[in-house]
Structure 1
């Protein structure tokens, strides 16, 4: 029996999943101590229930994810609306440094994946699928390259790539919080004065400060403009031969709007924008994780576990000994390390969820929330394409 959950029903399930995740995380001390995002906890539980229904009673549940994609655009619009030119300038050097680190990560991921494949006697193509294609690239990249590999004769390549991406999404959400929290506690780090100052612009009144209906309507209008204008920009660029992710152009429009508002001395309600961003992110993640098709992973569980453990080790070492050290060993560095774990194993929203879990407990980090999304939205995909092609040109692929 097949059940399709769509429209507002998906929203209802997602909200219930978030409540479930919050309740379980609070009751299970391990999850709370290691800063596991509520959406990750609830989403994994829901996907396990869905897999159990299919495996035990042949009840197949499918979710319509159109709302999820809209929430992603809203979320990145709020990231743009929070990006002031001063913060962009401060993040410039860090952005350049972490882009180089991201390139190194992609090389390490592919080296680990191909190395394990060759040692186990498998085709190196499976190792590449269990490298940067699926982990840093995510589901979209895994599907695209998996189809090409399957057409070239690599059996089950697409399914294997999707399975790796799914496991990576889970792992990225599980290790980012512990890594960031451990660094903060080990080195006794606190938010910088600038970060605390920016957060204090709408000060301690915020927890009890009501958001006026005009602020809500204005924020909804601005988000709609970001999404619509971003889509128009994306269509124009596509016609010029430059296709960008929709969430990146929406974020760019948000950056333009917030800085123009400063120029003309127009005040935006950052409280309402922050709340909209948090809500959009949580709903996007809940919808993504609750809709994972876990039953597709059972057949390759053994090899997948080895690959995931190897890639988890790689991203943890990179985050702790490269990202944290090179960016200054400060509070922002620890938050970025947490986000980098999500970026390298799952996707940009997982990185943001990791950083949100950290900052909600320890304090704000505007620089991390600017730099990590920019790397995930554009640079890592571009670098990934180049590095994948480099590995494909190596002798062992020609021999395979």
Structure 2
């Protein structure tokens, strides 16, 4: 096996080419455009297939330097926090609790689905949990974290391979299905964006004209971003002393919310970047590059290391996620435009990861209009609350199965 290790600069260059590829595909392939598939998803999936072919046929593996990817994730969620005004947060209070209840309930549904299919296929029932909330709602990080427990305590030697393969499967399909489902709901129910809502998409829309991005506005935005990220990291340090662990990007999101609802009131002459194209552009670029790096670095050959039984189990999980999102999430969240956008994001959460959810919602809102509420409550549920709940749910199922 020949291995090529790329440095940060080379990784960024390839990620940019992947985004160009995605934009080209979206422009040329009508399906991708009509069903709001994010550029980073279409380009990233194709790139991961290419690198997978290099691995399986030519025995040539490309390894990327992904430290910069984590920094891009922090930048992106900081832009979300800086775009979150208090009145929007107050509007999101009740929907946040509702979505959290729905998401926690689905952790049980996801594991029960996995256990049922695993039993039918003659697999260890705990494999259904691995290919349930561990790897799908939890993602790659949770799958890796729990793999040793499944291996050492329950004798599932290939728990890591199953977990990573399941998380990879979910991440890809979570980015592909969110847009089409949202489009179906919007068109079928003739939904319109609320005209009284702020015109905030956290994105520069395609074809948008008269955008003012100059030296001064970009410099102000970068200054605020740097200060906010620093505050967020310090906030996370102090929270850690209290015994509560937060992902860095969640702390930076919260720091952005705090600053954007206080500093403009105190220093009224300082040009705060909320609602500016500069902030939206940085948000777009950071999310696009993050998702492109995440998808192009997926080791798709791990999917070949699992049996047909696991594939059937994952297909069942995929279908259950769609059914639950359409029949439960959308109606309970209000059957309105916000609910449709939230549903597209939730599909990304339940199958992949929070950035996938954000990419789904960005693609939808670029086409149909803003949904500020969705951009606040979905990342808070997906990036913080659901991980805490998932740990308890996983342990509960393992105790029951024991």
- Please state if 1:268 is matched with 2:252: no
Check whether the contact 1:339–1:354 (CA below 8 A) recurs between aligned residues: yes
Kindly provide the CA deviation profile for residues 247-293 of structure 1, in whole angstroms up to 9, marking residues without a partner as x: 00010111111111331224423221111111110000000000001
Superposition deviation, residue 178 in structure 1: 0.6
Q: Secondary structure at the match of 2:63?
A: strand
Local SS of the residue matching 2:227: helix
CA contact (8 A) 1:206 1:271 kept: no
On the 8 A contact 2:198/2:372 being kept in 1, the answer is no
Separation in 2, partners of 1:197, 1:36: 22
More deviation in 282-291 or 256-265?
A: 256-265
Match of 1:232 among 228, 231, 234: 234
Question: 1:93-242, aligned counterparts within 5 Å?
Answer: 93-152=94-153, 153-196=155-198, 207-242=209-244
Mapped contact 2:130–2:143 kept (Cα < 8 A): yes
Farther-moved stretch of structure 1 (166-175 vs 47-56): 47-56
Contact 2:232–2:255 (CA under 8 A) maintained in structure 1: yes
Q: Distance in 1 between matches of 2:176 and 2:64?
A: 23
CA–CA separation in structure 1 for the residues paired with 2:106 and 2:82? 29
Q: CA RMSD in A?
A: 1.8
Q: Distance in 1 between matches of 2:237 and 2:263?
A: 25
Aligned pair in 2 of structure 1 residues 300, 199: CA closer, same or farther (>3 Å)? closer
Bigger CA drift: 211-220 or 172-181? 211-220
- Structure 2 residue aligned with 1:62: 63
Structure 1 Cα separation of the partners of residues 199 and 37 of structure 2: 27
Gaps of 5+ in 1: none
Shift of 1:309: 1.6
The residue number in structure 1 matching 2:3 is 2
Deviations 1:369-400 (A, max 9, x none): 11101101111111111111111121xx22xx
CA distance in 1 between partners of 2:30 and 2:359 (Å): 19
1:34-64 deviation per Cα after TM superposition (whole angstroms, max 9, x unaligned): 2111101111111111111112222111001
TM-score (norm 2): 0.95
CA distance in 2, matches of 1:306, 1:198: 40
Normalization by structure 1: what TM-score?
A: 0.95
- The 1-side partners of 2:33 and 2:277 are apart by 25
**For this pair of structures, how many residues does the alignment match?**
394
TM-superposition CA deviations, 1:146-178 (whole Å, max 9, x none): 121111211200111010000000010011001
Q: 1:123, CA displacement in angstroms? A: 0.9
Which residue number in structure 1 is paired with residue 346 of structure 2? 340
| Match of residue 308 from structure 2 | 302
Deviation, structure 1 residue 218: 1.4
Q: Identify the range of structure 1 (384-393 vs 104-113) with the bigger mean alpha-carbon deviation.
A: 384-393
Equivalent of residue 288 in structure 2, options 266, 269, 282: 282
Contact kept in structure 1, 2:161 and 2:306, CA below 8 Å: no
Divergent runs of 4+, >6 A: none
Q: CA deviation at 1:206?
A: 6.4
Pair 1:370–1:2, CA change in 2 (3 A): same
**Matched position secondary structure for 1:60:** strand
Shift of 1:199: 6.9
Retained in 2: the 8 A contact 1:285–1:349? yes
1:47-89: per-residue Cα shift (whole Å, max 9, x none)?
1111111122221110010111100000000000010010000
List alignment gaps of at least 5 residues for structure 2. Answer: none
- C-alpha displacement at 1:215, in angstroms? 1.2
Cα 1:268–1:65, aligned 2, differ >3 Å: closer, same or farther? same
**317-326 or 245-254: which moved more?**
317-326
Aligned to 2:359: 353
